Structure 1
Amino acid sequence: MEIRHATDPESVETATAAELRDRYLVTDLFAPGEVCGLYTHEDRMVIAGAMPADQPLAIPAWEAVGTPAHLDRRELGVVNLGDPGDVIVDGSAHKLGTLDGLYVGKGSDIRLSGEGACYLLVSAPADATHPTARFSRDTVEPLALGEDSRASRRDLYRYVWGGGHPSCRLQFGVTVVHDGSVWNTMPPHLHDRRTEIYLYTGLAPGDRVIHLLGRPGATRHLLVADRQAVISPAWSVHAGAGTGPYAFVWAMAGENTDYGDLQTVTLEQL
């Protein structure tokens, strides 16, 4: 497991492109037959990738988490980026299609299976246990956002958020950008009381998302490829434009689960 410490906003303004990538870009989450993880001290979130291939996988008891099992003091969000597969929670199988999600509560035992499945895992500290819940992109009603004329039309699928299934700190879901649109959020905003992690998916090999980060008025950018993630600290704006079709998984943890607790940043402030 890789460990990254929290960063301050001033350091972004003087960092080289390589330093920005080292601090905020996550590039090596997915390997066949493995669970690869990263622990960030930004709200103590864990992001991991699991590709079961021909045998089920369990989440390791990483030393950074400090418990005998990963979910002893954590809750978990799972989104499948690949072919259909089964997530077994306490002996019960939950089938996830492409971009379907699953919430798993504190204290659960989990196994991930499915040749061709590719799971994104995001966990956060939890002090209570909430029930397991499956979310299908085919049945969850998306929130339509943006406009064709501003190249920002997208569908927001909220799986776990303040107005839906309960959680302690974790929120997550999927946003699908419409063909012909490029922006995933514009104008951008801040989540001053929460860290957010983005995982971009559905990009062709030659395409990238240009992801903005940093404080308003002092932004930098990262070029992000398919199945790569960005850690967005609470002080950073976040917005991105893709060179081709894409979707992204978003996950947040922090002070509260009020989805609307954010601050809009105008283009003038940028």
Structure 2
Amino acid sequence: MLKTQTRHAIDPATTKTLDTDQLRDHFHVGGLFSDGEIDLVYSHYDRLILGSAVPAGGSLVLDAVAETGTPSILDRREMGVLNIGDTGSVSVGGQDHTLENGEVLYIGMGSGPVTFGGNGRFYVLSAPAHQTYPTKLIKLSDARRVELGSRETANERVIIQFLHPEVCQSCQLLMGYTQFAEGSVWNTMPAHLHDRRMEAYLYFGLPQDQRVFHFMGEPSQTRHIVMANEEAVISPPWSIHSGAGTSSYTFCWAMAGDNVDFTDMDMVAMEDLR
């Protein structure tokens, strides 16, 4: 079963007026990872699609998505797939790929329908593409690792980069995830902006009775959204994207926009946050 929804882009001035429920309606993505379903959200921020596919031991085919206006979703798009569950398979272009937990598959433009199988819990990301790059399975050993932070500032973490120019070519989709050491809870702080690219987070590996407080908004007008395990959030290009959890967790980050320069960030000084 395929379920889709659309999220329209809104401006910073409007966002300042929203209450908790309205913020969640625009930016929070819940209800993902349902057995036997493909759930997709089409965002008008850089036309990113994010969602999930849970074959639950069977198979699910992702092909036509009305929101893209093309016969098949990958006709003018590329895709990244992260498995956060048990071993699963992704079949595309006549080839089967086995994804273990924590592995990522990049799928190039024009690859045709995508079939999800096995016991994987697949997080799906797709952005418009202008060129076809080879489909590639990226194992943990292939990813680029960047260790940052410290215990003293409660942000000791490793950034694991999969769709990154030094690992796998893509048109505009950047993707990876960040894991925290035990006792560390702060992500992406000091905060930053990148008006040239939007971003989306999926929080996972979080105990069911714990939460992450995700911070968004302009630096002078910050807001928060409370996130549970396996929930996603859309971050507009004009917004900070930061968070703090009540326990350690992992989050998958993905960006789409004008470039694939991971370090293209406009830092926000602590004293400028409100």
Could you list the per-position Cα deviations for residues 190-246 of structure 1 after superposition, in whole angstroms to 9, with x for gaps in the alignment?
111001000000011111110000001110000000110000000000110111121
Tell me what 2:54 maps to.
51
Does structure 2 conserve the Cα–Cα contact (< 8 Å) formed by 1:12 and 1:220? Answer: no
Provide the rounded CA distance (Å) in 2 between the counterparts of 1:253 and 1:191. 11
Query: How far did 1:141 drift?
Result: 3.9
Note the residue ranges of structure 2 that are not aligned, 5 or more in a row: none
1:268 and 2:233 are equivalent in the alignment = no
Any idea what SS the aligned residue of 2:34 has?
A: coil
Tell me what 1:31 maps to.
34
Tell me what 1:156 maps to.
159
Tell me what 1:114 maps to.
118
Provide the rounded CA distance (Å) in 1 between the counterparts of 2:72 and 2:142. 32
Aligned residue identity for 1:111: T
1:1-270 → structure 2 map (5 Å cutoff) = 1-109=4-112, 110-115=114-119, 117-270=120-273
Query: How far did 1:139 drift?
Result: 4.3
Normalising by structure 1, we get a TM-score of: 0.97
Any idea what SS the aligned residue of 2:270 has?
A: coil
Could you list the per-position Cα deviations for residues 167-194 of structure 1 after superposition, in whole angstroms to 9, with x for gaps in the alignment?
1111101111111100111101111100
Could you list the per-position Cα deviations for residues 47-97 of structure 1 after superposition, in whole angstroms to 9, with x for gaps in the alignment?
110000132111141111111111000000000011111111212222211
Provide the rounded CA distance (Å) in 2 between the counterparts of 1:99 and 1:184. 19
Query: How far did 1:249 drift?
Result: 0.7
Does structure 2 conserve the Cα–Cα contact (< 8 Å) formed by 1:79 and 1:119? Answer: yes
Provide the rounded CA distance (Å) in 1 between the counterparts of 2:85 and 2:67. 28
Runs of 4+ in 1 over 2 A off after TM superposition: 137-141
Query: How far did 1:138 drift?
Result: 4.2
Provide the rounded CA distance (Å) in 2 between the counterparts of 1:125 and 1:244. 35
Provide the rounded CA distance (Å) in 1 between the counterparts of 2:53 and 2:126. 13
Identity of aligned residues (%): 44
Provide the rounded CA distance (Å) in 1 between the counterparts of 2:58 and 2:72. 20
Any idea what SS the aligned residue of 1:64 has?
A: helix
Normalising by structure 2, we get a TM-score of: 0.95
Provide the rounded CA distance (Å) in 2 between the counterparts of 1:137 and 1:166. 17
Does structure 1 conserve the Cα–Cα contact (< 8 Å) formed by 2:157 and 2:181? Answer: yes
Any idea what SS the aligned residue of 2:25 has?
A: helix
Provide the rounded CA distance (Å) in 1 between the counterparts of 2:218 and 2:267. 12
Judged with a 3 Å threshold, the aligned counterparts in structure 2 of structure 1 residues 28 and 60 are, in CA distance, closer, same or farther, namely: farther
Does structure 2 conserve the Cα–Cα contact (< 8 Å) formed by 1:159 and 1:172? Answer: yes
What is the root-mean-square deviation of aligned Cα atoms in Å?
Answer: 1.1
Does structure 2 conserve the Cα–Cα contact (< 8 Å) formed by 1:188 and 1:239? Answer: yes
Query: How far did 1:10 drift?
Result: 1.2
